[in-house]
Chains A and B, each alone.
Chain A
């Protein structure tokens, strides 16, 4: 060990705090200048932690399941009444839907309609909700050798959850629709107008940039739009809710606060890709002859 005088040692120890402050600023600059390093570090950490999270997800799921069970038991009577009423309503809708489906099939047959290709999907378990003060993301555990890629779209059983932004060997990160960085081209179903869904870090993302002459209506359904080639058209997103200050927001169909499983759809869309892809051109793979 190097022997130094007490005075020098004290002076050095006083320098540690300012030095770490300088280091924090340096990291801040580095992260801003080079997003690839930050992403690599994140993926490496997520890959290392994903197995542990996956192992813990099982017992935690059991506990939260039990809590939900108790709450459901408590509310059974009122829930029953509500469901009966809803069932009644849905039965009427079912009749309407069946009639429309038959009509649709007849019309498509007349038009020689080319059917859309259904996306391939993989199902993955959400093992951690990685969010900070100004970030919303979910971590998925994957088996090595998976086929998940950046830009794939995550849906839960009700609607769009977000998009895959980082992929590692054993994990993938999904940027949720509520994140500050999330921008989704959407269509207002009633008017057919295009708009942009902008994450605000709150539960309800905001609608922006709808065309002049159209006003989003309360209760209107919002679906994804194929604009910008990032999402396929027509995936369910949510319904419009006008906030107290008059700003149209979207109440999401997806239950982001209790994600357990998500389906990752590959529509082959590489429209707007996260930072790393824009700085590095992916080599085009030619199929072997």
Chain B
């Protein structure tokens, strides 16, 4: 991490715990969102899990990749597969693809306005959908209907602003704690 040079007192236990909490927040919050997305709230025919998880992965991959490393992305995908009953490996592959593309273009994406980033989230959701669609079709040796992808993309876009708002605050918090 880039820290200004200089001599500082050692961090106290509380400061260290605080820093750990801030650094692990992105992954922990994504896990909690994923687990909570299965609660029966009565939304018909929609899978909330990926729609809540994608904004997390996209946001942190673009704005602070250090707190959303590839192994964490992999674990999130695996967890979502285990929870949803999808064939194992489909989630990690989809999320890692999104993560890799976001990482590749992060400098360009991070400079855009919020609205533009929001539009790009639609693209990322589409990318994730296509990867999941292709892998699932291949695993089942059948051509599946691409129909469920549309509500999925719409839901991801719908959740993004609220999540991004919360994440932006945390993002500043992390930067502040690290600078201290």
Contact = CB atoms under 8 A, between A and B. Distances in A.
Contacts of B139: 28, 32
A203 B78 CA distance: 26
A2 interface: no
B92 interface: yes
Contacts of B132: 133-134
B77 interface: yes
A16 B129 CA distance: 24
Contacts of A23: 74, 92
Given A132-B80, A134-B136, A38 B88 contact: yes
A42 B71 contact: no
B151 to A, nearest CB: 10
A48 to B, nearest CB: 10
Contacts, number: 141
Interface in A218-253: none
B11 to A, nearest CB: 18
A215 interface: no
Interface stretch (B17-25, B37-45, B112-120, B159-167): B37-45
Interface in B55-102: 69-71, 73-74, 77-93, 96, 99-100
A133 B100 CA distance: 21
A88 to B, nearest CB: 30
B35 A133 contact: no
Interface in B131-162: 132-133, 135-136, 139-140, 144-145, 147-149, 152
Contacts of B78: 27
B49 A132 contact: yes
A16 B44 contact: no
A196 to B, nearest CB: 15
A135 B73 contact: no
In this complex, the interface size class of chain A, counting residues with CB under 8 Å from chain B, is 35 or more
Given A20-B70, A24-B93, A32-B139, A60 B39 contact: yes
B103 interface: yes
A257 interface: yes
B87 A28 contact: yes
A28 to B, nearest CB: 3
A60 to B, nearest CB: 6
A93 interface: no
A77 B38 CA distance: 34
B40 A128 contact: yes
Contacts of B85: 42, 130-132, 135, 137, 173, 175, 179
Nearest to B100: A17
Interface in A28-67: 28-32, 38, 41-42, 45, 49, 52-53, 56-57, 60, 64
A145 to B, nearest CB: 25
Interface of A: 16-17, 19-21, 23-32, 38, 41-42, 45, 49, 52-53, 56-57, 60, 64, 126-135, 137, 139, 173, 175, 179-180, 200-203, 257-260
Interface of B: 35, 38-45, 47, 49-50, 69-71, 73-74, 77-93, 96, 99-100, 103, 129, 132-133, 135-136, 139-140, 144-145, 147-149, 152
Given A20-B92, A27-B88, 18 more contacts: A17-B99, A21-B100, A28-B88, A29-B89, A38-B87, A57-B39, A129-B38, A129-B40, A130-B85, A132-B47, A132-B81, A132-B91, A133-B133, A133-B152, A134-B136, A137-B84, A200-B145, A202-B45
